Amino acid sequence: MSEKLIIESHKNKIEQYELLLPQIVALTAGETDLIANLSNISAALHQTFGWFWVGFYLVKNDNLVLGPFQGTIACTRIPFGKGVCGAAWELKQSILVPEVDKFPGHIACSSLTVSEIVIPVFNVQSEVVATLDIDSDKFGVLDEIDVIHLERLAKHIGQVIMK
């Protein structure tokens, strides 16, 4: 397995995802350890897009518990239904928050985060097993293009990596 990530930052966002997702599939294909794979996925996303924070929360009983991430320290437990992550888990749908101040109950792990995307990760039984959380310190960076491609990634994580 190559540990070199190819990034072409001059390309548009769709092209960057098209370049990144096969690399993530290849990067994780030979490894069965979940923490190792989620760690490298966080790093690959962070290296490619330079977001303020990117990482996973893993469903453990009634909480989401902090998993592998890249960025500043973060809250370790989020109850079902709380914050953007808990809402995405409860609603079983992705949530794009262009302005976190306007999302009731948003959990501010960092005051620098201004917008956020949370994508639920489903297992083959369609249960939420994790959330993928992306935080930006800039307005207008995260949009529906990210949601579509991160959902593709989340599908691979839920059905292959976390199977």
Residues contributing to the site for ligand SME (CB under 6 A): 53, 74-75, 78, 83-85, 106-107, 109, 113, 116, 133, 135
Question: What is the full DSSP assignment across 1-70?
Answer: ---PPP--TTS-HHHHHHHHHHHHHHHHHT---HHHHHHHHHHHHHHHH--SEEEEEEEETTEEEEEEEE
- Smallest separation (angstroms) from ligand SME to the CB of 96: 13
Q: Which is nearer to ligand SME, 7 or 65 (CB)?
A: 65
The H-or-E segment that residue 96 falls in is: strand 95-97
Q: Which is nearer to ligand SME, 54 or 161 (CB)?
A: 54
Q: Which is nearer to ligand SME, 23 or 90 (CB)?
A: 90
- Smallest separation (angstroms) from ligand SME to the CB of 150: 15
- Smallest separation (angstroms) from ligand SME to the CB of 147: 16
| Cβ atoms 37, 153 nearer than 8 A | no
